[in-house]
Amino acid sequence: MTKRGSAGRAAGSSCGCAARAPARRAAESAAPGGRRAIGVEPAIKARSLNRLRRIEGQVRGLQRMVEDDRYCADVLTQISSVQEALRAVARELMRNHLKHCASSAIRAGASEAEAMYDELVELFHRHGR
């Protein structure tokens, strides 16, 4: 029997990726939207959710600015702020993905490593500035 940590993860695995790799594949096909995260650290998740809530408020403010016919340059400045805030969330989630999911897949074996390399190249291409 595997000893469990405080969040129900296998001891020695901070995110559970390695311990749940077979379950991950099953969950990916069963999840309504496709794959599901299994390795987001609780602190990162909390920070990301707080940032996303703040961004949501910024977007509502942008809607009001457009409704109130605010000066275009002011609206565009606020849009840039929202985009940078989203990039900050993405950077933190990418770091978590690399630290846990990617490193676990790379250590798991050649075929999983190759799939992860492809995924990372695509992520960097799609999300790079």
pLDDT tens digits, one per residue of 31-68: 456 777 667 789 999 999 999 999 999 999 999 999 99
Residue 101: give the domain boundaries.
Answer: 37-127
Residue showing tokens 């790799």: 21
| Interior angle at CA 100, CA 110 and CA 46, nearest 5 | 155
Q: What is the pLDDT of residue 8?
A: 41
Model pLDDT, residue 35 = 72
Q: What is the pLDDT of residue 101?
A: 85
Domain assignment present for 1? no
Q: What is the largest CA-CA distance in the chain?
A: 63
Number of domains the chain is built from: 1
- The answer to whether the beta carbons of residues 15 and 100 sit under 8 Å apart is yes
Residue 111 has pLDDT above 60, yes or no: yes
Whether 78 shows a pLDDT value over 50: the answer reads yes
Is position 111 within any domain? yes
The answer to whether residue 24 scores a pLDDT higher than 60 is no
φ, ψ dihedrals at 62, nearest 5°: -60, -40
Q: Answer whether residue 19 is part of any domain.
A: no
What pLDDT score does 99 carry?
Answer: 87
Residue 13 resides in a domain: no
pLDDT above 80 (res 122): yes
Q: Quick check: is 29 in a domain?
A: no
Q: Are 115 and 101 in contact (CB under 8 A)?
A: no
Predicted local distance difference test score (pLDDT) of residue 4? 39
What whole-number percentage of the chain has pLDDT above 90?
Answer: 46
pLDDT-based confidence at residue 92 (cuts at 50, 70, 90): very high
| Position 77 in a domain | yes
Q: Which CATH number covers residue 59? A: 1.20.58.1000
Q: Is residue 12 part of a domain?
A: no
